[in-house]
Amino acid sequence: RKEVEQDPGPFNVPEGATVAFNCTYSNSASQSFFWYRQDCRKEPKLLMSVYSSGNEDGRFTAQLNRASQYISLLIRDSKLSDSATYLCVGRIYNQGGKLIFGQGTELSVKP
Amino acid sequence: DAGVTQSPTHLIKTRGQQVTLRCSPKSGHDTVSWYQQALGQGPQFIFQYYEEEERQRGNFPDRFSGHQFPNYSSELNVNALLLGDSALYLCASSSRDGFSEQYFGPGTRLTVT
C-alpha cells in the first residue's frame, strides 16, 4: 500500500464548478501535510498547508482528519487557470523533513 | 534572489551509461533533497544532503549516489542507467531545521534509450 494515496483522476469540470480532492495516508509518522500544485512539465509548488482545524485561502479550503488519516482539498468557483495536477504530501520531520507525495490528481477546468 | 537552479534541463542517455545532474540551492539554504518523478507519478524521495553528507535515503539502489559541495550545491549521479531511470529529477532546497518549506528547482528531464 502506498504511504499517500490519491484518486488519479482526471477530473474534468466546467468553469465555476466546485471540486473536491481526497487523499489518505498510512504512515502515522507523517507530521505535517500539504497540497502542492504541479503544472504540466514544471516543478511542484506549495499551494497550502493542511491543519486539523481546517484552513482556507481564497477559493481553496484544506482539511486534515488525523483519526481517519484523511486529507481533503476543496476548490470553489473553478477557473481555467486551476487546471493542473494537485499533489497530496506528507512530511516526516524526524527524517530530515522528507516529503512523501501521492501520485497526484489531474484537474482540467473547461470553459 | 535566484531560486533553485538545476542543470541540464534535458538529457538523453543510453542504457548502461552514467549521468550527473547538478543543483544549486536557493540563497540561504544549506540542505538539498533529490526526488525522482516518473511519468504519471508523484515525486519519490531519493536522498538528502547537508553538511556535505547523505543524511536520509529513500528506497533507491546504490546506483544512485550524490555529493554536496562546501557551497551547498549538489550533484546526483546515476550509474549503469536503465530504461526505468527515465524520469524528471527534481532538486529541493531548504534550511537544515527541516521545518522550512522545500523549494523545488525546475528539474532535469532524463531520457534513457
pLDDT at residue A54 in the model: 85
Residue of B nearest to A101 (CA): B42
Q: Do A98 and B105 touch (CB under 8 A)?
A: no
Q: Say which residue the cell 473547461 belongs to.
A: A110
Q: Do B58 and A101 touch (CB under 8 A)?
A: no
Task: Kindly report the backbone phi and psi dihedral angles of residue A7, in degrees, each rounded to the nearest multiple of 5, phi listed first.
Answer: -70, 120
Closest approach of A14 to chain B, Cα-based (Å)? 23
In Å, the largest CA–CA distance within chain A is 45
For B69-93, the pLDDT digits (tens) are 999 999 999 999 999 999 999 999 9
pLDDT per residue rounded down to tens, chain A (111 residues):
778 999 888 999 999 999 999 999 987 776 789 999 999 989 999 999 998 888 999 999 999 998 899 999 999 999 999 999 999 999 887 777 789 999 999 999 999
Q: Do A104 and B42 touch (CB under 8 A)?
A: yes
Q: How far is CA A46 from CA A10, A43, A65, A67, in A?
A: 20, 10, 20, 24
Question: What would the DSSP string read from start to end of B53-93?
Answer: EEEEE-S--TTEEEEE-TTS-EEEEE-S--GGG-EEEEEEE
Q: How far is CA A68 from CA A6, A10, A25, A102, in A?
A: 15, 24, 9, 17
Q: Do A8 and B43 touch (CB under 8 A)?
A: no
Residue of A nearest to B41 (CA): A103
Q: Residue B55, Cβ neighbours under 10 Å: how many?
A: 17
